[in-house]
A and B are shown apart, each in its own frame.
Chain A
Amino acid sequence: MAEQQLALRVEDVTKRFPGVLANNDINFDLEKGEIHALLGENGAGKTTLMNIIYGLYKPDDGKITINGEEVVLHDPNDAIRRGIGMVHQHFMLVPVMTVTENVMLGNEKTTTNFLHMLAPLDRKRIAREITQLADQHNLKVDPSAYVRDLPVGTQQRVEIIKALHRGAEILILDEPTAVLTPQEADELFDIMRSLTQKGKSIIFITHKLKEVLAIADRITVLRGGQVVGSAIPSETSEHELASMMVGRDVLLEVEKSEAMPGDVVLDVTDLIAEDDLGHQVVRGVSFEVRAGEILGVAGVQGNGQREMVEALTGLRRAVGGHITLLGENITRSQPRHITDIGSAHVPEDRHKHGLVLPFTVADNLVLNAYHVEPFSKQFFVNRAAIDANADRLVQEFDVRTPSIETPASSLSGGNQQKTIVARELSHATVKLLIVNQPTRGLDVGSIEFIHKRIVQARDNGVAVLLISAELDEIMGLADRIAVMYSGRIVATVPAEGADRNRLGLLMAGAEVSSEINTLM
């Protein structure tokens, strides 16, 4: 290929962090108008490489060429000026600002040039431009909404708009689909295709192999900081990619036996809950979960799942209804009490709830149990027990970290997730396991492992409530499937023989007819 066709070229890039060789002599290039997928295990070094290209990290070694010109990027502004845009794995938005303000941040436009820095900000113009971009690319968002009030999926749209608004020619998307529903992901793919047709180039990171095969022009696989292979979608398969990533064969389907439901563990009747803005978003939900079964809640994100789970775990006060856990009314209970009765919870938002980022991995691994033996006695925490627990879980759940003393903030996204899942799944006396998007951001190998552990918990008599935007995950794991739409459970069906299309329709809000009721 001709040299000038390359939008980006990375040669022999190496990056070390304390105790980790995150990128080891990486060579990578991106053609103009191409979608280049980057695959690899959690901690393989994908985000690190992207951060280097975006000017966030300086490589220890190696060279970067953009549009045929060798560059040294001192900071993201350098990268942005050269037409690089990045949507991070963990969003970089300011929660207390509006969408418009976030988009203009660092790129502020004023209404007049007079007194430049002091002139009023031209919010109207930016808002108009946002609406324009949004219409063009089907990125529905309210420019005047505050980011902290937006669901994760919408925040991501804001990030994409922000990059586009700055005229990105090379767009880096770090696991953009991890937080999207299949439909949203399809819409994103349409956007990506139309962008590449206009000559833009995209680096696309994902753990979902189907997506890679559907959209990528080329695929590069990283493992342990090195490039271990590349492929073309038409000449490869999910299985081949999976084993290239992980270095072994991976089971893409869950193996499980018939459920043996026991007594009711969690009983929810007519639950009503409001979101932060006071809108009723859980509108009379009733269901029960029995010991030894997995109830999957399928639904497009933002239909009340988050608020429902927060009400179940005591993080949010229910406005109406009853929640009973093991016979005890917990409708008004504090989170600590609910945990102590025997519930564990993998939260949806790993940074807001799941982790204390500056704390060490060891401390994060006891966030739900630091107050009980063996991790503490009377008033004092027991460092030795906390460290031993961490050593064990890091090993068992394959959390890739230089040490248990490493702050959680410097783990890769997937390894942060594994830390949370390890903590919650290893909780000693669990009777109810609430897992909200448990495998978000995990590589195929880790997903296989976590799925096995969830099924194992079920077989040990734990009641499992699984909330997931992944229909595949729900259909693979759940014994019964409840579909949530617009704050209600519109149908509950046995997973055995459940019809994908019908579930999809229900999730999209197709009218609940008597025909479906017969399925229940």
Chain B
Amino acid sequence: MTTSVSPLSRLGHNLRQTLGNILIPILAILTSLVVVAGVIALSGANPLEGFMGLWDGAFGDGDAVANTIIKTTPYIFAGLALTIAFRGGMFNIGVEGQFFVGSIIATLIGYALRLPPVIHLIVAILGGAIGGGLWGAIPGWLKARTGANEVITTIMTNYIILRIINWLISPNGGPMRNPARPLPQTPEVYPTAYLPWIDFSKINFPWVNLSWLASATGSLHWGSILALIMAVIVFVLLWRTILGFEIRTVGISPTAARYAGVNVERTMVTTMALSGAMAGIGGAVQVLALTHYFSTGFNVGYGFDSIAVAMLGGLHPAGVVLAAVLFGAMDAGATIMQMRTGVPIDIVTIIQGLVLMFVAADLIVRQIYRIRVKPADGTTPVSATVQTAGESG
């Protein structure tokens, strides 16, 4: 009786479910834009012009698009790091610090070691991953061993790493300082560790010819491709591996996970280590591709802003990539917007904050648009995004 459902209606069901999953994020974005339009209007500028400026700055021409992609990349890494952690039930606020650990270790390997080209790069990125992973594993281990709340401990590890790094690169005798400069920054890494630009004139697949993109050479680096590969890897990890099954089980119900034979404590530590490693790779990529050295004030905030990216992306890698593009585009377009219309760059921060609020408190959005909360039998609708997105994987 009930089991005889036609494949067609099954497809329709899946389609509706997917639509349902992306409906809330889209409405959250729209609502944020409407609110911000009000704010811009109050400040005396024309909201429409402001948004047009933002759009042109992000997608107006080839350079703008390249800039958007560059700005998107760190959001993808950090968003993926948070996706792993949140799926595993770990509220990792420490991505910011793990990102920095990745940067600083990659920098150290980049200027302190002499290795052949490609190998140097790979070692530097791996070093960043391992550093971020270990730094993330500490709060995971504390939670597994003592039950210490990871929100608190990751905030603390953020402070700790910040102080350590300030000391490391301090011009007054920091062990990683650049002796040639009176500023808090490290020496430059050797070119063997550079993450190269994509040379479009050299990419010639037999089936597509990308040489027409040759002019874009020098504006996009391989880190963006790595980010996309990582998104696929995270998807496979979470939904196609034994470990991913265990991470998600622990994330939803530690008691059921224990019953199922999962080593809950070990999984918590692993989850945090993987999350930290992903953040670490993000940090390494920023240094090795863009600045080639580490200094204070560079790359601040990705760990925190990406909480919004991960939530907006429904804790699904594909969603995270899309949400990261949105945030990257806003970062990229903000300057043009300010130059053209006088709308201050900070408006972008407001939009990003509002998006996070509307996604996290999706009940607000549901109420505004009269979307009925579906009361899942027996489960508390803590966060519908966390519970429903991508379960069908």
Contact = CB atoms under 8 A, between A and B. Distances in A.
B256 A353 contact: yes
Contact of B2 (A20, A90, A340, A383): A20
A191 interface: no
Contact of A370 (B1, B2, B245, B253): B245
A202 to B, nearest CB: 22
Given A367-B260, A402-B5, A409 B245 contact: no
Interface stretch (B27-35, B269-277, B370-378): B370-378
Interface string B257-293: 1111111000000000000000000000000000000
Interface stretch (A4-12, A249-257, A354-362): A354-362
A271 to B, nearest CB: 19
A402 B248 CA distance: 24
B14, B243, B255, B387, most chain A CB atoms within 10 A: B255
Given A336-B262, A353-B255, A358 B242 contact: no
Contacts of B14: 405
A403 B9 CA distance: 11
A335 B378 contact: no
Contact of A360 (B263, B377, B391): B391
B379 interface: yes
Interface in B320-356: none
Nearest to B13: A18
A329 B392 CA distance: 40
Interface in B1-55: 1-3, 5, 9-10, 13-14, 16-17
A315 B259 contact: yes
A335 B13 contact: no
Nearest to A90: B378
A352 interface: yes
Contacts of B217: none
Contacts of B185: none
Contacts of A370: 242, 245, 260
Contacts of B375: 56-57
A402 to B, nearest CB: 5
B261 A356 contact: no
A53 to B, nearest CB: 14
Interface stretch (A157-165, A373-381, A459-467): A373-381
A353 B262 CA distance: 12
B3 A400 contact: yes
Most chain A CB neighbours (cut-off 10 Å) among B245, B376, B392 = B245
Contacts of A43: 2
Contacts of B243: 379
A368 interface: yes
Contacts of B5: 19, 402-403
Contact of B242 (A315, A354, A371, A383): A371
B388 interface: yes
B201 interface: no
B240 interface: yes
A19 B13 CA distance: 8
A223 B149 CA distance: 48
Given A19-B9, A409-B379, A355 B256 contact: yes
A379 B242 contact: yes
Interface residues of A, number: 50
Contacts of A405: 10, 14, 392
B241 interface: yes
Contact of B263 (A336, A340, A357): A336
Interface residue tally on B, bucketed by range: 35 or more
A351 B377 CA distance: 11
A457 to B, nearest CB: 20
Contact of A403 (B10, B244, B261): B10
B252 interface: yes
A383 to B, nearest CB: 7
B256 A356 contact: yes
B263 A334 contact: yes
Contacts of A383: 240
Secondary structure dominating the interface of A:
loop
Interface string A218-231: 00000010000000
Interface in A53-96: 56-58, 90
A405 B3 CA distance: 12
B106 to A, nearest CB: 27
B295 interface: no
Most B C-beta atoms less than 10 A away, residue of A356, A383, A411 = A356
A347 interface: yes
Interface string B154-194: 00000000000000000000000000000000000000000
A402 B256 CA distance: 24
A18 B376 CA distance: 13
A380 B240 contact: yes
Interface string A403-415: 1010101110000
A339 interface: yes
B249 interface: yes
A241 interface: no
B241 A356 contact: no
A363 interface: yes
A244 to B, nearest CB: 17
Contact of A394 (B3, B9, B377): B3
A360 B241 contact: no
A401 interface: yes
Contacts of B252: 356-359
Contact of B259 (A18, A19, A335, A381): A335
A247 B237 CA distance: 46
User: Closest 6 interchain pairs by CB?
Assistant: A336-B261, A353-B259, A90-B378, A409-B376, A367-B260, A358-B387
Interface of A: 18-20, 43, 47, 56-58, 90, 224, 313, 315, 334-336, 339-340, 345, 347, 351-360, 363, 367-368, 370-371, 376, 379-381, 383, 394-395, 400-403, 405, 407, 409-411
Interface of B: 1-3, 5, 9-10, 13-14, 16-17, 240-245, 248-249, 252-253, 255-263, 372, 375-379, 387-388, 391-392
21 contacts: A19-B2, A19-B5, A19-B10, A224-B1, A315-B259, A336-B261, A339-B261, A352-B256, A353-B259, A356-B260, A358-B388, A360-B392, A367-B259, A370-B242, A371-B261, A380-B240, A380-B241, A381-B245, A402-B2, A403-B5, A411-B377
Given A359-B248, A367-B259, 10 more contacts: A90-B377, A335-B261, A336-B261, A351-B378, A357-B252, A357-B378, A358-B388, A383-B240, A405-B10, A407-B391
